[in-house]
């Protein structure tokens, strides 16, 4: 097992973290997610320690607190102190029926941490994370409460979960001297939004990214994707709780590519997906959970897999193609605000250099694949967002700016290129260059 330092904290953790969301047997949504009893939890923790894992990630709200309790029982049964197993937990979600049993106010944070320490059976938490933002509480008050807990010795390091790039910037502006070390985010081959802005801000401020749901709720394992007959009847958590949400038409091609690479390496698709994440520059540690020891064993073996550059390229290309189709289909499904809008060229493109010839097309109602590797892509109704699609063979760019009622495609070619006829634009009209 390899280890990494979380930000500037000096906090060394394993590249794979044991997720404790399945520990305990709570009510509500936890009936679909959790269910492991004390003995099962203890065996899972023992296996993780044996494989070199030294961090468990839990939360005060998981199974109404039972997850933290199961973690504490396992640590006691196995005689594990902080030199062998660290504990990360969270605060923010509802923990009771009272009006103050939720949020990031000072009272709730301090009271919840005391309860978590009793469940875990230790005098401190190694990493306390804000489970999300609380719009009702000033961020300065929340950060001050965390700082007080660190000064009291009840918390070693603090982090966040699901913070946007802007929220990370704001927290850093309030207190650059905080003990913040991490931001726990959703990142996988099925969801790469983190790469847009969060990864850059995290890198600038040396904030480590902890990855949750690296297999997209198990979907990247392949058991939920449609087979050749178009049916998918696999039983599992996602069959009861479809979370995190995904676009199955877009993700299924990725799953098929994972299967192909897995067959070549004689491993599982899940191991390939985890190995891909571990090889990403933005990733510090990946949280892996399981419902049984075999699942956990398979997931932990991903740390032993090294994907070849061409295999990573194949995954990047299939993700790019799926993303491009999704964006184009979304644009095609939008209602036209002006009847009779047709494609017509425009010669304006801000920032065009003398070395480039540019031809722009305003297009609506388009469908089709765009070849190459997609770079930064976003699509939001009513917002102007740029997406860049790079053709790896010709070194050309397709720059797309999306609006609520139109989609503008620009083909920028290096001045040395003679034609862009070889670009795979699917059903789009090819510009004459």
How far apart, in Å, are the Cα atoms of 345 and each of 316, 348, 401, 405?
31, 9, 14, 17
By CB neighbour count within 10 A (0-12 exposed, 13-18 middle, 19+ buried), where does 70 fall?
buried
What does the chain come to in residues? 433
| Catalytic site residue from 62, 187, 219, 361 | 62
DSSP 299-313: HHGGGG----HHHHH
The CB density around residue 56, as the number of other CB atoms within 10 Å, is 28
* Total Cβ atoms within 10 A of residue 98: 9
* Of the candidates 306, 314, 226, 212, the residue with the CA atom closest to the CA atom of residue 267: 306
Work out the angle between the directed axes of helices 269-278 and 309-332 (0-180°, nearest 10). 100
Q: Is 62 noted as a catalytic residue in this protein? A: yes
Q: Are 324 and 369 in contact (CB under 8 A)?
A: yes
Q: What are phi and psi of 323, to 5 degrees?
A: -70, -40
Active site residues: 62
């Amino acid at each position: 097992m390899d280890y990494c330092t979380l930000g500037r904290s000096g906090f060394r953790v394993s590249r794979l973290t044991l997720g404790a969301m399945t520990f305990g047997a709570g009510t509500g949504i936890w009936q679909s997610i959790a269910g492991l009893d004390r003995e099962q939890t203890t065996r899972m923790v023992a296996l993780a320690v044996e494989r070199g894992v030294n961090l468990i990630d839990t939360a005060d709200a998981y199974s109404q607190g039972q997850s933290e309790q199961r973690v504490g029982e396992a640590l006691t049964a196995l005689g594990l102190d902080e030199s062998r197993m660290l504990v990360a937990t969270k605060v923010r979600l509802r923990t009771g029926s009272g009006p103050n049993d939720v949020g990031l106010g000072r009272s709730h944070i301090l009271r919840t941490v005391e309860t978590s320490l009793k469940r875990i059976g230790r005098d401190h938490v190694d990493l306390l994370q804000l489970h999300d933002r609380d719009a009702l509480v000033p961020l300065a008050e929340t950060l001050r409460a965390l700082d007080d807990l660190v000064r009291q010795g009840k918390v070693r390091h603090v982090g966040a979960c699901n913070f946007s790039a802007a929220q990370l910037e704001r927290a850093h502006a309030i207190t650059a001297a905080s003990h913040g070390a991490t931001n726990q985010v959703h990142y996988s081959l099925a969801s790469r939004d983190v790469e847009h802005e969060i990864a850059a801000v995290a890198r600038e401020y040396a904030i480590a990214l902890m990855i949750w749901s690296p297999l997209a709720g198990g979907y990247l394992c392949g058991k939920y994707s449609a087979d050749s007959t178009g049916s998918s009847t696999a039983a599992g958590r996602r069959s009861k709780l479809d979370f995190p949400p995904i676009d199955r038409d877009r993700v299924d091609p990725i799953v098929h590519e994972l299967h192909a690479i897995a067959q070549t390496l004689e491993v599982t698709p899940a191991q390939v997906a985890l190995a891909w994440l571990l090889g990403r520059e933005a990733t510090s540690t990946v949280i892996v959970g399981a419902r049984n020891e075999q699942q956990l064993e398979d997931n932990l073996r991903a740390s032993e897999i090294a994907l070849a550059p061409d295999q990573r390229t194949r995954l990047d290309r299939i993700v790019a193609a799926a993303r491009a189709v999704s964006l184009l289909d979304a644009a095609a499904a939008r209602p036209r605000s002006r009847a009779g809008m047709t494609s017509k060229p425009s010669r304006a493109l801000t920032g065009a250099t003398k070395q480039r010839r540019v031809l722009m097309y305003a297009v609506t109602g388009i469908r089709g694949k765009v070849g190459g590797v997609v770079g930064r892509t976003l699509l939001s109704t009513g917002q102007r967002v740029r997406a860049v699609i790079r053709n790896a063979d010709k070194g050309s760019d397709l720059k797309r700016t999306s609006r609520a009622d139109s989609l503008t495609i620009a083909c920028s070619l290096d001045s040395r290129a003679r034609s862009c006829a070889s670009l795979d634009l699917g059903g789009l009209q090819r510009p004459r260059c």
